A and B are shown apart, each in its own frame.
Chain A
C-alpha cells in the first residue's frame, strides 16, 4: 500500500538513478539518519556506546570493506584482521609523529596506507583464485601480525609492545584517550560509517562495481567483454582495504585505546568479519550493516537474557553464543546464502504486493 513504485514519477536521469527509487525507502533512510545524528547523541550512555553502538559502527565499516572484496568482486580474503592492524598501526604512527594534525585526517590517511598494503597483497589474486587466494591472504594475516610484533619501530619501542592512543581532539572535544564522552566518539564513528557507506554504495552501483561483479560472476567472460582483470581486482583490493583500514584505525584509536596486535587483530578477527559478511549477505551494503549488528548484538543480547534475566552462569551463555553463531552460519550457508540482506529483499517484495498479493 505504502511501499510501491506506482505514483512516484521520476522526471530526470538523476532521479531515476537514485539509490532508493521507492519513496518509502527514501523517507525511511532519512529518518534513520536523523535519529542516528540528531537523537542518539543525546540519549547515548557509556554502556550503549562501548558495548553496542561503537563496535557495531566500526565493524560495519570493516564488513563493507570485506563485502566489496568478497561479495562484489568474488575474491575470498582471510586477511581482514591484518589489514585492520595496518590501519591501526598507521594511525598510531601518524598520531604520534604528527600530533598537531587532526585525528580525522590521520584515520583517512591510515585507510590510504592500508589500501596500498592491501593492493600489494592483492597481487597474487591475478594468478590464483578461490581457496588458493584465501591461503595467500591468510599468509598476509600471519605475516603482518608477526611484523607488528617483531619490529619495535611500529610500537615506538614501548616495553609492553602495545600501542596506546594519546588524547586527540576534534573541534576541542576529546575523541581518543581516557576522557572521552560517549556522544563524541559515537558521532566520529557515525560520520565515518555514513561516509563509507555512501561511497561504497555509489562505487558498487557505478562502472567500477559492475566490473567487480563481472569478474566475480565469470572472470574469463569479463575479460572478453573488455574488463581489465588487473585493474578490477587490484582496485577491489585497494578500495576494500581502504575501508578495512579506516575501521582498524577507529577500532584502535577511538574504541579500544590500547591494542595488542596478536590478540585484537588475529585470525579470529578475520573470521568474525567474514561471518558478518556471510550472515549479513554477500554483495550488499545493507547486509554489511545487518551482519555487523547481528554479530555485535548477539552476545550482548544473549548475556542480558541469559545472565541478567534468567541468572544462568555466564560461561554457559558464552558457550551458547558460540553454538548459536556456528549453527546460524551453517543455516545461512545452506538455506539462505545471500544472508539477512536477502530476507530483507524478500520482505520488500512482499511489501510491494501487500495487502493484495494476487
Chain B
C-alpha cells in the first residue's frame, strides 16, 4: 500500500504542476533505451530541438509557448500506452509515437479521446483514408507508397522491365515489417518479378540463417523493412556474404548514418529511401544558436543534421504548421487537440513556406484533405558513400504507385470501418 500512497502523492504534484500553465502541450513519446534507441534518439532530439528553437526564437507558435513532455516508451507498446495515458490529461495536442506497434494501440484510444495522431511514414497505412480514420494522419508518405517508390525505381533502373527478376524482402517480423508485403505481392503480380519475403524476429540481432538463405537463392535485389539494431546487423551480414550493396535497398527507416557506419567500407553503396532531403539547411544554424549554444540541446546534442534528426525536425515542423493553421481557422492562439485536427486536415505545405522556414525542399509540397490524410507519397533514393561518410541523394522525388495502393487502402480501411462500426464520412465537429 505504501507504493500506492507514494504514487498518489507524486501524481497529484505532477498534475498540479501540469494544470497551472496554459500553453501548447507537445508530448514526445521517445525511446532512448533498448534495441531501437539508435533510431529513437536522433528523431526525438530533432523533434524537441526544433520546438525548443520555436520557443526561444519566436516565443512559441502564434505567441503561445510550447511545452514538451518527454516520455520514454522503449519502443514497447505497454509503456507507450502508459505514456499516452499519463500525458493526455495535460492537454496533449498531437501524438507522434514513432512506432507502428504503439500506433496500432493508440488509433482507437486517440480516436475515442479526440486527439490527433500523426504517424509520419509509419503506422497504419490505410489511415490515409481520412473518412474512416478521422483522427489519424500519416502524411507525407506511407509504407505502401515506399514499396511503390522502390519498385518504380527498380523499373527505372531496369529499363521498365522486372520480368523474371528475383526480389527478396528482409523484414522486421512485426506489424511494421509486414505492412509492405501486400503491396509488393500486388506489384510482383503486375510486373512479373519473383517476390520472396524473409522475416527477421525482434530485435533482429540474429540474422545468419536469413542471409544464408539469400546467399543460396541469389536474389537480384534485396529490400529491407528494418529498424533499430536490425539494420546494422543486416548491412553487416550483407557485406559478409558479399551481396552487391547497390542492389540492397532499405526503406526510409533503414537508412541513417548509424545503420551503415558499423559495417565500415562494407556498407559502401548501400541504398535507402528517404522522405526528406538531406544536407545542410539554414534552420540548423538557428537551432545551433537558440538551442544548442544556450545549453538546451535535447540528448547530447551530437545528432544535429543527421538523417533521422532532420526527419524528427521535419515532423515538428509539420506539427507547427498544423497548429498555425488551426490557429488561423479558429482565430484563437490557445488551440485544443480538436482544433489541431482541423488544422492538420487543412494543412498545405508549399515550396515557398518550406523555404521561409529555412528548410527548402525538405519534403515534397503536398496538401491534406478530409479524404486524403496520406499526403503525396513521394520519396527519394539515397546512397551511402563510405569514404566520405555521407548519404548522397541519387534521384529526385519519385512517384509511388497510387494505382496499386489506393484500392488496397480502400479495401483495408473499409474492413476496419466494418469491424468497428464506422460510417466513413468527413469529420464534422
Please pick, from A47, A164, A262, A317, the residue contacting B201 in the complex, using a CB distance under 8 A. Answer: A262
Does A308 make an interface contact (CB < 8 A)? yes
Q: How far, in Å, is B264 (CB) from chain A's closest CB?
A: 28
Does B78 make an interface contact (CB < 8 A)? yes
Q: Which of B172-180, B188-196, B267-275, B366-374 contacts A (4 or more CB under 8 A)?
A: B172-180
Does B339 make an interface contact (CB < 8 A)? no
Please pick, from B10, B70, B174, B181, the residue contacting A309 in the complex, using a CB distance under 8 A. Answer: B10
Does A336 make an interface contact (CB < 8 A)? no
Does B421 make an interface contact (CB < 8 A)? yes
Does B72 make an interface contact (CB < 8 A)? yes
A189 to B112, CA, bound (A): 21
Does A51 make an interface contact (CB < 8 A)? yes
Please pick, from A257, A260, A297, the residue contacting B101 in the complex, using a CB distance under 8 A. Answer: A260
Does A17 make an interface contact (CB < 8 A)? no
Q: Is the CB of A50 within 8 A of B178?
A: no
Q: Is the CB of B175 within 8 A of A293?
A: no
Q: Is the CB of B32 within 8 A of A315?
A: yes
| Docked complex: A206-236 residues within 8 A CB-CB of B | none
| Docked complex: A262-278 residues within 8 A CB-CB of B | 262-264, 266
Q: Is the CB of B105 within 8 A of A263?
A: no
Question: How big is chain B's contact interface, by range?
Answer: 35 or more
Q: Is the CB of A319 within 8 A of B105?
A: no
A300 to B175, CA, bound (A): 27
Q: A161-B174, A258-B104, A301-B7 are in contact. Are A314 and B77 (CB under 8 A)?
A: no
Q: What are the residues of chain B within 8 A of A264 when measuring CB–CB? A: 77-78
Q: Is the CB of B7 within 8 A of A300?
A: yes
A226 to B228, CA, bound (A): 55
Does B158 make an interface contact (CB < 8 A)? no
| Docked complex: A13-61 residues within 8 A CB-CB of B | 46-47, 50-52, 55
Q: Is the CB of B74 within 8 A of A164?
A: no
Q: Is the CB of B76 within 8 A of A314?
A: no
Does B387 make an interface contact (CB < 8 A)? no
The contact string, 1 if C-beta is below 8 Å from chain A, for chain B 102-123, is 0011001101100000000000
Q: Which of B59-67, B79-87, B215-223, B317-325 contacts A (4 or more CB under 8 A)?
A: B79-87
Does B420 make an interface contact (CB < 8 A)? yes
Q: How far, in Å, is B398 (CB) from chain A's closest CB?
A: 23
Q: Is the CB of B85 within 8 A of A263?
A: no
Q: What are the residues of chain A within 8 A of B6 when measuring CB–CB? A: 301, 305
Please pick, from B10, B78, B85, B111, the residue contacting A46 in the complex, using a CB distance under 8 A. Answer: B85
Q: Is the CB of A51 within 8 A of B86?
A: yes
Q: Is the CB of B72 within 8 A of A161?
A: no
Q: Is the CB of A178 within 8 A of B7?
A: no
Q: What are the residues of chain A within 8 A of B412 when measuring CB–CB? A: 159
- Return the chain A residue nearest B174 by Cβ: A260
Q: Is the CB of A314 within 8 A of B108?
A: no
Q: How far, in Å, is B300 (CB) from chain A's closest CB?
A: 10
Q: How far, in Å, is B313 (CB) from chain A's closest CB?
A: 20
Please pick, from A55, A167, A258, the residue contacting B105 in the complex, using a CB distance under 8 A. Answer: A258
Q: Is the CB of B89 within 8 A of A47?
A: yes
Q: Is the CB of B108 within 8 A of A315?
A: no
Q: Is the CB of B174 within 8 A of A297?
A: no
The contact string, 1 if C-beta is below 8 Å from chain B, for chain A 132-165, is 0000000000000110010000000001111010
Q: A164-B104, A266-B202, A318-B74 are in contact. Are A309 and B13 (CB under 8 A)?
A: yes
Does A195 make an interface contact (CB < 8 A)? no
Does A120 make an interface contact (CB < 8 A)? no
Please pick, from A164, A308, A314, the residue contacting B13 in the complex, using a CB distance under 8 A. Answer: A308
Q: Is the CB of A300 within 8 A of B14?
A: no
Does B388 make an interface contact (CB < 8 A)? no
Q: Is the CB of B3 within 8 A of A55?
A: no
Q: What are the residues of chain A within 8 A of B30 when measuring CB–CB? A: 314-315
Q: What are the residues of chain A within 8 A of B125 when measuring CB–CB? A: 159
A145 to B412, CA, bound (A): 25
- Return the chain B residue nearest A161 by Cβ: B178
Q: Is the CB of A160 within 8 A of B13?
A: no
**Considering residues A167, A264, A313, A314, which has the most beta carbons from chain B within 10 angstroms of its beta carbon?**
A314
Q: What are the residues of chain B within 8 A of A299 when measuring CB–CB? A: 79
Q: A263-B174, A317-B72 are in contact. Are A256 and B78 (CB under 8 A)?
A: yes
Q: How far, in Å, is B11 (CB) from chain A's closest CB?
A: 6
Q: Is the CB of B81 within 8 A of A256?
A: yes
Q: Is the CB of A305 within 8 A of B10?
A: yes
Does B403 make an interface contact (CB < 8 A)? no
Q: A159-B179, A264-B77 are in contact. Are A318 and B419 (CB under 8 A)?
A: no
Q: Is the CB of B420 within 8 A of A297?
A: no
- Return the chain B residue nearest A302 by Cβ: B10
Q: How far, in Å, is A3 (CB) from chain B's closest CB?
A: 16
Please pick, from B79, B175, B202, the residue contacting A160 in the complex, using a CB distance under 8 A. Answer: B175
A-B contact pairs, 29 of them (CB 8 A): A46-B85, A46-B89, A47-B89, A50-B82, A50-B85, A149-B173, A159-B182, A160-B178, A161-B173, A167-B421, A177-B108, A178-B112, A256-B78, A256-B81, A257-B105, A258-B105, A258-B108, A263-B76, A263-B77, A263-B174, A263-B202, A293-B3, A305-B6, A307-B70, A308-B13, A314-B30, A317-B72, A318-B72, A322-B33
